[in-house]
């Protein structure tokens, strides 16, 4: 049912984070989304490990909310086989990110755990490149 877990790290600026992952650890950057004259989002991958960085301003523009002070700045992106199954399991649990279909080919919904961490469940849309 669960396919993979990817941390999404919210930052003010992505570029200062890249040398560690790209130049020191040898990760690749298969996806990058610009935000004006800088990066708004990246995916970094190596040896089956994946992590994402997204700027706080990109999160606000993409999801419609900012990360308030005191709330964890890392969220969890969990790819699943069936989003409907997850929604049924969640029942009346409060939704933080309403169900949506994204430009990157996912059908997703998000909730916050008791600590405030955003947990996004996502399923690839039919025909979406993976």
Q: Does a structural domain hold residue 69?
A: yes
Query: CA–CA separation, 31 vs 41, rounded Å?
Result: 8
Domain CATH for 105: 3.10.180.10
End-to-end CA distance of the chain: 17
Q: Does a structural domain hold residue 130?
A: no
Q: Does a structural domain hold residue 129?
A: no
Q: Does a structural domain hold residue 40?
A: yes
SS3 content of the chain, % helix, strand, coil (to 5): 20, 45, 35
| Tens digit of each residue's pLDDT (9 = 90 or more) over 68-115 | 666 668 889 999 999 999 999 999 999 999 999 998 899 999 998 866
Residue 37 has pLDDT above 90, yes or no: yes
Number of domains into which the chain is organized: 1
* Domain encompassing residue 97: 2-124
* pTM score: 0.73
Q: Does a structural domain hold residue 7?
A: yes
Q: Does a structural domain hold residue 21?
A: yes
| Residue 93: per-residue pLDDT | 92
């Amino acid at each position: 049912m669960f396919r993979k877990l990817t941390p999404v790290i919210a930052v003010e600026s992505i570029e200062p984070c890249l040398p560690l992952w790209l130049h020191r650890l040898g990760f690749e950057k298969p996806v990058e989304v610009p935000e004006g004259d800088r990066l708004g989002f990246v995916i970094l991958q190596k040896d089956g490990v994946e992590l994402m960085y997204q700027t706080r301003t990109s999160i606000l523009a993409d999801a419609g909310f900012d990360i308030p002070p005191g709330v964890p700045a890392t969220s969890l992106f969990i790819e699943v086989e069936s989003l409907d199954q997850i929604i049924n399991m969640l029942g009346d649990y409060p939704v933080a990110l309403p169900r949506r279909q994204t430009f990157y080919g996912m059908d997703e919904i998000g909730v916050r755990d008791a600590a405030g961490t955003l947990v996004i469940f996502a399923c690839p849309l039919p025909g979406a490149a993976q």
